[in-house]
Amino acid sequence: MIELKLYDNEVKEMTSMIVSFWKCHNGIVPEGDDGMDDLKAWTAEGHKLYFIVKEEKKVGFVHLGSRGVNPDWLEDIFVLPEYQNQGIGSTAIRLTEEIVKQYSGAFFIEAASRNLDAIRLYRKLGFDCLNTITVCKDLKKYQYDVIKEEKVCGCDFEIRKYKL
């Protein structure tokens, strides 16, 4: 069984999870980063932070943020690598949606355009309305590979991934 448990000052466990999140997403953790800066930001007013719990074990987290009145943006979701591809993330998103539904008429998720798997998952879970589009001007294009091209609103865009 998967459930969400509201963060309640379990600093060591959450900061360790945050460091793992950045390692998995970027391949590195900024020098000296112990997760505390993110933890402080993600527990400030307008945010909610939950552990994803499977059979009483904390296996990830969900971070909700507010860009208005209530925290209805899924800012970050993370499942430890050894628990990925088991439906835990999908279940956590559905549980988060039930929380948000109690006080908001919409639930928002952002994904980097290069994160095609996440975009496909979010679409499968019913996220079917474009809300905002973020465009970027890469100032050091040599650092990126073009992985796909898309047309949005009649304009051509490249989806780029950082060269490792």
Residue 161: is its pLDDT beyond 70? yes
Q: Are residues 57 and 120 in the same domain?
A: yes
Question: Mean per-residue pLDDT for 22-32?
Answer: 76
Q: Tell me which residue range forms the domain holding 84.
A: 2-132
Q: Are residues 126 and 97 in the same domain?
A: yes
Across the beta sheet with 108-109, the strand order is 2-6, 47-54, 57-66, 71-79, 108-109
Q: Sorting pLDDT into bands at 50, 70 and 90, what band is 109?
A: very high
Residue 45: is its pLDDT beyond 90? yes
- Separation of alpha carbons 29 and 129, rounded Å: 33
Q: Are residues 113 and 69 in the same domain?
A: yes
Q: Are residues 30 and 45 in the same domain?
A: yes
Q: Are residues 139 and 122 in the same domain?
A: no
Q: Are residues 83 and 147 in the same domain?
A: no
Identify the three-state secondary structure at position 44: coil
Q: Are residues 92 and 18 in the same domain?
A: yes
Which letter does DSSP use for residue 67 in this model? S
**Model's pTM, two decimal places?**
0.85
State the pLDDT at residue 32: 72
Instruction: Count CB neighbours of 53 within 10 A.
Output: 18
How many domains does one find in the chain?
2
Q: Are residues 124 and 148 in the same domain?
A: no
